[in-house]
A and B are shown apart, each in its own frame.
Chain A
Amino acid sequence: MKRKYMNPYLAGVLLGMVLLSAMFFSGRGLGASGGLKYAVVAAVEAVDHEHAMESSYYRKYFENGENPLKNWLALEVLGMFLGGFISGALSGRLKFKIEKSPNITNGKRLFFAFLGGLFFVYGAQLARGCTSGAALSGMAVLSVAGFMTMIGIFGSAYIFAWFFRKLWI
């Protein structure tokens, strides 16, 4: 049986406590897009070592002699999959599914999901963080960058929402 989601304000308190724990234990905020970046850096190095060493962008992740996947953020992202799975299992929401509006095809949903991911993470690399690492965690430490990232993401999504409304409503 599918259980209802947690009350949003209560879920917010829970998420805030997790973020506070990250600050208290590790002196940093949460993150998500950075984990994807480390996966790409490690994969590029494994496939084409020479290319990775020629590029100053990739090379900086190997300068300390460690595997780029052996860091706090990569482990945190790995933990996210387990945490999400536990939550889904407890609430009876584990199911393979393409979630979309009935007005669009599966192909269209998947195409825009891919394109959206490409845009989002490209922008996150530029802005040095996404909704988690820059906006949420930044706001919790009163960083101007955090507030500006939040305004940038949500303001822009509201502007583009009209153009993509057929995907959702």
Chain B
Amino acid sequence: MGPITVLNELPQWLNLGIGFLIGIGFGFALEQAGFSSSRKLAGMFYGYDTTVLKVFFTAAIVALAGSQLLSYFGLLNLNMVYVNPYYITATLVGGVIMGAGFIMGGFCPGTGISALSIGKIDALLFLFGGLAGAFVFAETYPMIQTLAGANYKGPVRIDEWMGVSPGVFTFLLIVAAIIMFWLAEMAEKKYARPDITSEI
């Protein structure tokens, strides 16, 4: 029964080794998806390439439905899996800052790492900027500490929030994803930029 390393006393090197192996899979999947290309990622916001939406929602649904199934068959205790806490203000302000960073830099941290791993120099600068961002955050933390902790709601789950079961919510998310995938395929035709997509 999972989570394996949480429920069993394993040596630290094994926990860290599992993290390293999962990282290899993560980096591999991102690069295969084409997330090592900033112009491909940016296509999401101008309509000529919507790979980001397709990969992102497919992955979220596979992990969500997969973990629900494992839990149903008693193979995974979902109460022991980390649920991100919800700080309303920090999530909103942080999200808006991240979106601005995404469109300026063309990457998010994970895709920047993926792009640097195959030699993209622009990704190197993005990650230098990222290190600078983490440093500036640490140094300005005393000033924004109040904002960072404001309106704390705890690790709220969306199914409880909406008053439906996890299964019903998963089904609704799948329906929403299919509609978005259909819109995305249409957008790629309407906003097609063969001059860009042939180069990336």
Chain A: residues with CB nearer than 8 A to chain B?
Answer: 5-6, 8-9, 11-30, 32-33, 35-37, 39-41, 44, 55-58, 70-73, 75-88, 91, 93-101, 109-110, 112-161, 163-165, 167-169
Contact A84 B30 (CB under 8 A): yes
Residue of A nearest to B62 (CB): A16
Contact A130 B16 (CB under 8 A): no
A125 neighbours in B (Cβ, 8 Å): 94, 133-134, 137-138
Contact A160 B103 (CB under 8 A): yes
Identify which of A8, A73, A101 contacts B19 (C-beta below 8 A): A73
For the A-B complex, the count of residue pairs with Cβ-Cβ distances under 8 Å equals 536
B12 neighbours in A (Cβ, 8 Å): 70
Complex Cα gap A9–B184 (Å): 12
B28 neighbours in A (Cβ, 8 Å): 14, 83-84, 86-87
Chain B: residues with CB nearer than 8 A to chain A?
Answer: 2-6, 12, 15-34, 36-40, 42, 44-46, 48, 51, 54-64, 66-67, 70, 75-76, 78, 80-88, 90-123, 125-138, 141-142, 144, 147-148, 153, 155-159, 161, 166, 169, 181, 193, 196, 200
Given A122-B137, A128-B84, 16 more pairs with CB closer than 8 A: A5-B33, A16-B59, A16-B61, A20-B62, A23-B3, A36-B134, A40-B135, A110-B122, A114-B128, A125-B134, A137-B63, A141-B157, A143-B84, A148-B86, A152-B91, A157-B44
